[in-house]
Amino acid sequence: MPAEKLKQNYSSQEKEHIFEHEFLPHIDSMYNFAYRLTFDEDDAKDLVQETYLKAFRFLNSFQQGTNAKAWLFRILKNSFINDFRKKSKQPPKVDYQEVETFYNSDNVDVSMTTDLRVETVQHMIGDEVSNALNALAVDFRTVIILCDLEGFTYEEMSKILDIPIGTVRSRLHRARNLLKEKLQAYAKSMGYNK
Amino acid sequence: MATNLFSWIKQNLFGQISCQRCIELLELITDGEASLEEEQQFRKHIDECLPCYETFNLEKSIKEMLQTKLEKKQVPDDLIQSIKKKIRNTA
Ligand SMILES: [Zn+2]
């Protein structure tokens, strides 16, 4: 079988079936992802709608039975970067220089910079968690959402974000450390620790 | 060099890994991305090493917290209808 056979030729009935049974079931995750990117209900709605319209338009490049969720997330993330990021007020872009070299270096930083405790984490309420996550720059927020909330594998994330797996890992690692810092700062301000 | 050799022997002859290696594996384990061998080495290490065990618990609890405590937004009622309508109009 030649690997280049990429375009499908679905009948309109097949298209409708795929859309209904493989695409729409993910609308919950898609909407929540969109909302966590845009922080705005209307923008999230537009973004999800645009994603589904694109998915339908390009349905012939989707292979039935493959990973529809990852495919849809990839379209959503690209639409966000191309159309939405420009007009929304996002935190400044992160300098990845230091981040991306993390896993290329032999000296992994083993020291735990945080004295965050399990009990503290367990006592946090939804709003506190949400604020900590939302305070992260969008690229860091994104990897945590994809990995921890949506359960994508590193390989799927690599495809969704168009970055190598090593970069997925280093970005995720950095994102988690930043999240711990936010949680720790919050815990401190609330007098949770000590 | 001597310490490298030492840890190489420990890891390869006795299946023991260092704390540094353990921390490197931490995220692979919590994310379910480790190989069976890595998983076994990791489990063996945290059975015997309290600091690494605690670090692992923290990592796990943060992941659980994200999965259980973040409020899910309800998809707007009219969104699916509106998408379907737009598609029907373009088809
Ligand atoms: Zn250890």
Q: Which residue from B20, B57, B86 is facing A118, i.e. has the nearest CB?
A: B57
A121 and B61 in contact (C-beta within 8 Å)? yes
CA B71 to centroid of chain Cα atoms: 22
pLDDT at A176 over 60: yes
Whether residue A171 is contained in a domain is answered as yes
Q: What is the pLDDT of residues A118-168, one digit of tens each?
A: 998 988 888 999 999 999 999 999 999 999 999 999 999 999 999 999 999
CB contact under 8 A, A118 and B76: no
Domain of A58 in residue numbering reads as: 10-108
Give the residue on A whose Cα is nearest the Cα of B32. Answer: A153
Residues of A in contact with B70 (CB under 8 A): 126, 129-130, 133, 149
**What is the pTM (predicted TM-score) of this model?**
0.85
In a domain, A160, yes or no: yes
pLDDT score of A8: 87
State whether A20 and A80 are in the same domain: yes
Percent of chain A clearing pLDDT 70 (strictly above): 80
Q: What average pLDDT does range A168-178 have in this prediction?
A: 96
Is the CB of A149 less than 8 angstroms away from the CB of B67? yes
pLDDT at A6: 72
Please state, for a pLDDT cut of 90, what percent of chain A lies above it.
65
**In this predicted structure, what is the pLDDT of residue A87?**
66
Q: Answer whether A156's CB lies under 8 Å from A70's CB.
A: yes
CA of A18 to the centre of ligand 1 (A): 49
Cβ contacts of A150 within 8 Å, gap of 6 or more? A29, A33, A69, A73
CATH number at residue A188: 1.10.10.10
| A98 lies in some domain | yes
The beta-carbon neighbor of B87 closest among A48, A56, A176 is: A56
DSSP letter for A162, please: T
B35 Cβ neighbours under 8 A, 6+ residues apart: none
As a whole number, mean pLDDT of residues A94-108 equals: 45
CB B79 to CB A118 under 8 A? no
CATH of the domain at A55: 1.10.1740.10
- Using an 8 Å CB-CB cutoff, list chain B residues near A147: 31
* C-alpha gyration radius of chain A: 19
Same domain, A79 and A158: no
User: Does residue A139 sit in the same domain as residue A188?
Assistant: yes
b/e for A150-187, b at 16 or more Cβ within 10 A? bebbbebbbbbbebeeebbbbbbbbbbebbbbbbbebb
What is d(CA A70, CA A161) in angstroms, rounded to the nearest whole number? 10
Is residue A161 a part of any domain in this protein? yes
Query: Average pLDDT of chain B?
Result: 89
Q: Which residues of chain B have pLDDT under 50?
A: none
In this prediction, residue A99 carries a pLDDT of 45
The pLDDT, as a whole number, for residue B22 is 94
Range A57-83 average pLDDT: 94
What is the predicted pLDDT for the residue at B5? 75
- Residue A120 contacts residue A187 (beta carbons within 8 Å): yes
Residues A48 and A100 reside in one and the same domain: yes
**Encoded tokens for A184:** 């720790």
**Final residue in a domain of this structure, among A68, A84, A108:** A108
Instruction: Provide the residues around ligand 1 (an ion) whose CB is within 5 A.
Output: B 19, 22, 49, 52
Q: Of A62, A91, A108, which one is at a domain's C-terminal end? A: A108
Phi, psi dihedrals of residue A171, rounded to the nearest 5°: -65, -40
Mark whether A46 and A134 lie in a shared domain: no
Task: Identify the band that residue A11 occupies on the pLDDT scale cut at 50, 70 and 90.
Answer: very high
Other C-beta atoms closer than 10 Å to the C-beta of A45 total 20
- When divided into structural domains, chain A yields a total of 2
Same structural domain for residues A104 and A153? Answer: no
Contacts of B6 (CB under 8 A, 6+ apart): none
In a domain, A138, yes or no: yes
